[in-house]
């Protein structure tokens, strides 16, 4: 999967994402629509994207997934991989997912909006994500009419998404900011610049393993290109500062930092039982150690693979574990296997 790959500036930026929120003209938003209307939206969107007579998006190898036929833990597993939002897990609405063959493109149907077009890439690749999302958006608009207002732009269920309907974000690993006590200062500064910092799974989540999302706040009254350009500029500065903070940490307290990193390395390679929170915390130390070349026998790709494979629902899905204790046992086993 793409999220196991190591991309541009991947020592800090794990992945990039662009999401476009769109609604069909003349149809109630999903939360206000009845089942028949939801079904009609589902059929129209599927038709626009999967029409076999049109090969515009053929290279994406798009396939439809009926979420109503999946167990909650299966939906949770794909939410952990950021392919659907957590809101799509426990809901009786007629909802669907259109997924590309490499999972870089995921299009949610009947989430909060009729369409959530989401494109992701490993590393720092906002522009590449936007280009793909824009291509898909243009293709859909050739056959479907969007809800659009000349003053307010694209109309969305939540007013904060109106206008461009664009959310651009990066997933970043920020141990330098956290361990030097500068993270809260960063979050406040980004807020003043029109960006927001959230946890690894978005709004309301925490920064597991010092991994956070940085995204734009404003979508109304700004151009799409201005949003992506501004995010690129600010995140580039965050990346540069994070690297410098890591170097300062190592320079100012070399032995304590080495001890912290190697202690986590030893625990991960030998522990039998491992909770999700502890695993993410210690994997953050390992990732920091790799970036500072303290650890040289582990690749970023391995760490990326471990990170997603040990999340709770993915363990349930892949290993049929019945309870939290059995998941913690399996998590310890997975980590040891991958790190050896």
Residue whose structure tokens are 């991994």: 211
82 is in an annotated binding site: yes
DSSP-H helix ranges across the chain? 35-50, 72-80, 126-141, 175-179, 183-192, 224-252, 254-270, 276-291, 300-309, 312-319, 324-339
Residue whose structure tokens are 């793409």: 2
19 is in an annotated binding site: yes
Residues 6+ apart with CB under 8 A from 185: none
169 is in an annotated binding site: yes
Distance, in Å, from the CA atom of 213 to the CA atom of 196, rounded to the nearest integer, reads: 8
18 is in an annotated binding site: yes
Distance, in Å, from the CA atom of 300 to the CA atom of 49, rounded to the nearest integer, reads: 34
Distance, in Å, from the CA atom of 47 to the CA atom of 33, rounded to the nearest integer, reads: 20
Q: What is the largest CA-CA distance in the chain?
A: 64
203 is in an annotated binding site: yes
Give, as one character, the DSSP assignment of residue 87.
G
168 is in an annotated binding site: yes
200 is in an annotated binding site: yes
Give, as one character, the DSSP assignment of residue 248.
H
Cβ(8)–Cβ(125) below 8 Å = yes
202 is in an annotated binding site: yes
167 is in an annotated binding site: yes
Residue whose structure tokens are 């833990």: 73
176 is in an annotated binding site: no
Distance, in Å, from the CA atom of 29 to the CA atom of 147, rounded to the nearest integer, reads: 10
Distance, in Å, from the CA atom of 22 to the CA atom of 120, rounded to the nearest integer, reads: 18
C-alpha closest to that of 156 among 146, 165, 169? 165
189 is in an annotated binding site: no
User: What residues are designated binding site for ATP?
Assistant: 15-19, 82, 116, 167-171, 198-203
User: What residues are designated binding site?
Assistant: 15-19, 82, 116, 167-171, 198-203
């Amino acid at each position: 999967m793409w999220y196991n790959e190591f991309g541009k500036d991947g020592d800090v930026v794990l992945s990039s994402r662009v999401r476009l929120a769109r609604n069909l003209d003349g149809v109630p938003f999903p939360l206000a629509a009845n089942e028949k209307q939801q079904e009609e939206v589902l059929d129209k969107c599927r038709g626009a994207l999967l029409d076999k007579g049109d090969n515009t998006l053929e290279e994406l190898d798009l396939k439809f997934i009926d979420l109503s036929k999946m167990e909650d833990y299966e939906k949770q597993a794909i939410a952990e991989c950021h392919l659907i939002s957590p809101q799509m897990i426990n809901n009786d609405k007629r909802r669907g997912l259109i997924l590309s063959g490499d999972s870089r493109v995921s299009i949610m149907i009947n989430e909060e909006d009729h369409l959530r077009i989401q494109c992701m890439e490993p590393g720092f690749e906002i522009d590449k994500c936007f280009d793909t999302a824009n291509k898909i958006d243009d293709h859909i608009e050739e056959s479907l009419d969007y809800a659009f207002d000349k003053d307010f732009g694209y109309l969305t269920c939540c007013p904060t998404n109106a206008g461009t309907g664009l959310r651009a974000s990066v997933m970043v690993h920020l141990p330098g900011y956290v361990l030097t006590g500068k993270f809260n200062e960063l979050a406040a500064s980004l807020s003043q610049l029109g960006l927001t910092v959230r946890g690894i799974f978005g709004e309301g989540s925490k920064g597991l393993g010092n991994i956070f999302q940085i995204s734009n706040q404003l979508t109304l009254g700004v151009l799409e290109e201005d949003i992506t350009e501004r995010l690129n500029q600010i995140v580039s500065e965050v990346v540069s500062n994070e690297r410098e903070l890591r170097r300062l940490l190592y320079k100012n307290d070399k032995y304590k930092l080495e001890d912290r990193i190697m202690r986590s390395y030893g625990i991960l390679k030998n522990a039998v039982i491992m909770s999700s929170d502890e695993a993410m915390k210690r994997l953050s130390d390992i990732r920091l150690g790799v970036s500072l070349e303290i650890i040289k026998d582990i690749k970023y790709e391995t760490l990326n693979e471990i990170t997603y494979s040990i999340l709770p629902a993915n363990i349930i899905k892949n290993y049929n574990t019945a309870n939290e204790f059995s998941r913690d046992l399996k998590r310890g086993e997975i980590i040891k296997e991958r790190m050896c």
